[in-house]
Structures are given as C-alpha cells and as structure tokens.
C-alpha cells in the first residue's frame, strides 16, 4: 500500500488538473470538484447501503439494484456514488436515495468518506478497484463486494507494481459476483480465491424491458450507428455512401457528443448533405447523414430504426453495450473488437442474434442485405430479443446474494 499511495500522491497534480478539466468541460459543477477532493459529502443519519458506479453504464446497473433492494429494505438509506459528472443525472429523486461523487482514492479522502458515511456494505459495480477504499472497508468491518464483476486485459497485463497492489486489494473483497466464467478466471489470475467468487450472469441484460412507447424524432426511414468512437464515423459513412441508398437515412449517435468538431473534420463536407441535431438542422429529402449529438434520445432512435451498428467495435476499444438494441428486437451489427463483451457476443453470434464484420470493408454488403430483407432483419432482431427476455431473473439472483451477506452482518 505504501508504493500505491506514493504513486498516487506523485500523480496528484495530474489528478487535480483532470478533476478541474471535468468540472469545466463536462460541466460537473463546484460540487463535483469538491466531492472528488473529499469535501461536501452528504449527511446521512444511518448506515447506508453504498453502491458505487464509475460511469453511465454502471450507474444504470446500480439504479436497477437499488430498485430491487429497496423493496427488501424500505427504511434503509441508499447512497450511489459515481466517478463521472454525467452519471449523476441518471439518479432518480427518491426519499431514501442519495448521490455523491466518489472522492479520489487518496488515503486521507477515502478515510474521511468512510468515517462520515459509515456504510453498512460497499457494492462496486463492475471494474473499479480502489485500494484505499477497499482497505478501509476491511479495517472497519464493512464488507466490500463487486457485482457484475469483470476485468480488462489492461488490468491483468499492467506493470508488476500495480498488479501486486491489485492482488493485495482483491483479497480484501468479501465477495466477487462475476458476469461470466471468462471473467471469473480473470479474477483468479489476479489473485482472487475461489471461495470469494461466484457467477450470476450479466446484469446489463436486466436493464431493459419490452415496453416501448417513444416518440419518433426522425421523419424518414433510417438505420442507426450508436456509441461510435473516433474514426468509426468516417468508416461507417464511407461504406454507407457506397450503397447508393437514396431513401434511407444514416443516423449517427457518437459516444461522446463533444467530439462533433473532430467528426466533421474527418468528412468531405462539401460532398455530403449532413444535418446536425444539436444545431436544430432539419432533415430534408436530400439529407444523407444525421448526427444526433444530443443526450437522452437513444431510446427513441433505437425503437424506430431499421437496424443498428454498435460502435467501439471497429476500433480497438472493446465494444459498447448492445443489450438495449437487443431489447428492441433490432438486428445488431458489430465490428471485430468486442473483447469487453466476449461471452455475451459469443452467445448472440451462436444464436443468430448478431452480425459481426471483420472490418469496415464488409459493412456495405451487410447494409445492403439487411435493407433488402425484412425477413432477415426480423430473424436477427427476434433472436436478440428472446435472449434478453430469458435473462430477467439475473437481478434477483444478485440481490439474494447481497441479502444473505447483509443478514450475516
């Protein structure tokens, strides 16, 4: 731990600058800045059930867990902490639910947080391992667990100093509930004991239901590319234009809307008819590309599209969550880089619920085949939806494991 804290304090100037940057650029506000430094923490009169989620995807899981656990613990206070500024806007207003940004894992700020909050249990969603927080939970007899557990190859292949720190930290978790056997093996490789581990499936399957009632914001037939990353927009647009499709629009939803300038700089704007949602530009008969660079409209766009390409997969990012698209019964296309969703991707491919392209050069062919065949679109879409519907008990299995641990306290 001494090496870890030395390295952390060594990088403190960078961490502070990054916090200031997120405060300004991502509009975190003054509360985000001070809470990341360990100040302005919420006042809680009793020991809460503490759920930590790094970003938007993890926060959705934390909220799903809260919605299920609060039925069992109606008088208990829940605290959801997040790392990114945007995630806080997902937190619903509820009498027994509070939110805070998680302080940076300096020992003094982590100790201040644990001393003030006094959590009943610490539940971390997915991947964030903060050694000081976990150590302080252990030393204060607060059980720390990971749910929907997964580890990236980057964590496993990190330098020996950090890897040893992770190994020491992993042993302080009371329970690690993994989303797949593949992820369980990764935790074992990092030093987790078999007794700490169990498998309950991917909680992201349970975030979506089949009740859809959105308003269609697009006035013509369209296909969708969601959660796209740098250079993917250029690749997708290039292949889409090669189809010479005139009656169908390509709608792109970048993962980070603030990248709009970079996206446009990669395109031959003088040769394209593009409309941009954030600029309130209208879709005309000759519009080829519509960039939906606003937040909160993916649900509607998914419901009414013909089929969807899920980004982060044509470039070496590891893929993005495709379960929401599956819940709408849409044909799903991904690229080859899906290593953050290996077991889920394998299941979808095996059950003809997804199409994977080896590179962007084959996108034109896939686009054309899906556009020409409604039957093919429905086949892949219905298979995807069936998988989602078969996974809805996963949330209850997780909550039963958490309840057993709380009962033992």
pLDDT tens digits, residue range 251-292? 999 999 999 999 999 998 888 999 999 999 999 999 999 999
pLDDT score at 408: 84
Q: What is the DSSP letter of 222?
A: E
Q: Are residues 145 and 250 in the same domain?
A: no
Q: Which residue has the tokens 């796209």?
A: 228
Q: Are residues 180 and 235 in the same domain?
A: no
Q: Where are the alpha helices (DSSP H) in 73-180?
A: 107-117, 131-139, 153-156, 160-170
Lowest-confidence region among 67-71, 268-272, 276-280, 335-339: 268-272
Q: Are residues 170 and 308 in the same domain?
A: no
Percent of all residues in the chain with a pLDDT value above 70, rounded to a whole number: 99
**pLDDT tens figures, 352-407:** 999 999 999 999 999 999 999 999 999 999 999 999 999 999 999 999 999 999 98
323-326-327-328 Cα dihedral, nearest 10 degrees: 130
- Residue ranges making up the domain that contains 28: 2-208+393-407
Residues 301, 305, 309, CA angle at the centre, nearest 5°? 90
Q: 310 pairs with which residues across the strands? A: 226
* Burial (CB count <10 Å: 0-12, 13-18, 19+), residue 224: buried
Task: Tell me how many helices (H) and strands (E) the chain has.
Answer: 17, 14
**pLDDT tens figures, 158-177:** 888 889 999 999 999 999 99
* Burial (CB count <10 Å: 0-12, 13-18, 19+), residue 172: middle
Q: Are residues 264 and 401 in the same domain?
A: no
Q: How many domains does the chain have?
A: 2
Q: Are residues 255 and 375 in the same domain?
A: yes
Task: Provide the token pair at 215.
Answer: 């308003």
- 288 contacts 272 by C-beta, under 8 angstroms: yes
Q: Are residues 191 and 239 in the same domain?
A: no
Q: Are residues 170 and 314 in the same domain?
A: no
Q: What is the CATH number of the domain that holds 381?
A: 3.40.50.2000
CA atoms within 13 A on the CB side of 189: 14
Q: What is the CATH number of the domain that holds 170?
A: 3.40.50.11720
- 147 contacts 124 by C-beta, under 8 angstroms: yes
Q: Which residue has the tokens 């252990």?
A: 138
pTM for this prediction:
0.86
Widest pairwise Cα distance in the chain: 66
Task: Provide the token pair at 101.
Answer: 């940004």
235, part of any domain = yes
**pLDDT tens figures, 22-50:** 888 777 789 999 999 999 999 998 999 99
Short-list 120, 121, 67, CA closest to 97: 67
For the residues 67-85, what does the mean pLDDT come to? 96
Q: Are residues 239 and 153 in the same domain?
A: no
> Does the pLDDT at position 58 exceed 80?
yes
> Does the pLDDT at position 190 exceed 90?
yes
214, part of any domain = no
pLDDT score at 211: 62
- 112 contacts 38 by C-beta, under 8 angstroms: yes
Q: Are residues 183 and 226 in the same domain?
A: no
**pLDDT tens figures, 208-244:** 876 667 789 998 999 999 999 999 999 999 999 999 9
Q: Are residues 138 and 160 in the same domain?
A: yes
For the residues 53-71, what does the mean pLDDT come to? 95
Mean pLDDT of the chain: 94
> Does the pLDDT at position 333 exceed 90?
yes
Q: Are residues 313 and 397 in the same domain?
A: no
């Amino acid at each position: 731990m001494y090496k870890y804290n030395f390295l952390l304090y060594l990088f403190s100037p960078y961490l502070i600058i990054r916090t200031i940057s997120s405060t300004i650029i991502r509009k975190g506000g003054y509360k985000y800045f001070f809470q990341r430094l360990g100040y302005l923490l919420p006042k809680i009169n009793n020991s809460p059930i503490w759920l930590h989620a790094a970003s938007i995807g993890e926060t959705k899981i934390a909220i799903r867990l809260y919605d299920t656990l609060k039925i069992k613990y109606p008088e208990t206070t829940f605290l959801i902490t997040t790392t990114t500024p945007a995630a806080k806007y997902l937190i619903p207003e509820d009498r027994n639910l509070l939110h805070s940004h998680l302080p940076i894992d300096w020992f003094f700020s982590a100790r201040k947080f644990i001393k003030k909050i006094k959590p009943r249990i610490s539940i971390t969603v997915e991947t964030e391992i903060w050694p000081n927080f976990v150590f302080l939970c252990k030393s204060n007899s607060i059980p720390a667990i990971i749910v929907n557990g997964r580890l990236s190859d980057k964590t496993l292949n990190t330098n020996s100093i950090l890897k040893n720190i992770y190994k020491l930290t992993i042993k302080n978790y009371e329970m690690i509930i993994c989303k797949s056997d593949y992820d369980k093996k990764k935790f074992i490789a990092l030093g987790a004991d078999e007794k700490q581990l169990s498998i309950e499936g991917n909680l992201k399957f349970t975030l979506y239901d089949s009740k859809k009632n959105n308003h269609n914001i697009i006035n013509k037939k369209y296909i969708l590319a969601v959660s796209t990353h740098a250079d993917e927009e250029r690749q997708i647009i290039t292949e889409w234009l090669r189809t010479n499709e005139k009656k169908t629009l390509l709608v792109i939803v970048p993962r980070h809307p603030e990248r709009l300038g970079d996206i446009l700089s990669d395109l031959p704007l003088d040769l394209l008819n593009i409309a941009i949602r954030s600029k309130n530009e209208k879709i005309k008969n000759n519009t080829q590309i519509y960039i939906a660079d606003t937040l909160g409209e993916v649900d509607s766009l998914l419901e009414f599209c013909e089929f969807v390409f899920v980004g982060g997969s044509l470039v070496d990012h590891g893929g993005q969550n495709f379960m929401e698209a599956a819940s709408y019964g849409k044909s799903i296309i991904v690229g080859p880089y899906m290593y953050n969703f290996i077991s889920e991707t394998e299941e979808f491919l095996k059950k003809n619920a997804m199409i994977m392209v080896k590179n962007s050069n084959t996108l034109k062919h896939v686009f054309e085949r899906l556009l020409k065949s409604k039957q093919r679109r429905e086949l892949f879409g219905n298979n995807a939806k069936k998988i989602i519907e078969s996974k809805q008990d996963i949330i209850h299995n997780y909550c039963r494991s958490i309840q057993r641990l709380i009962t033992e306290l």
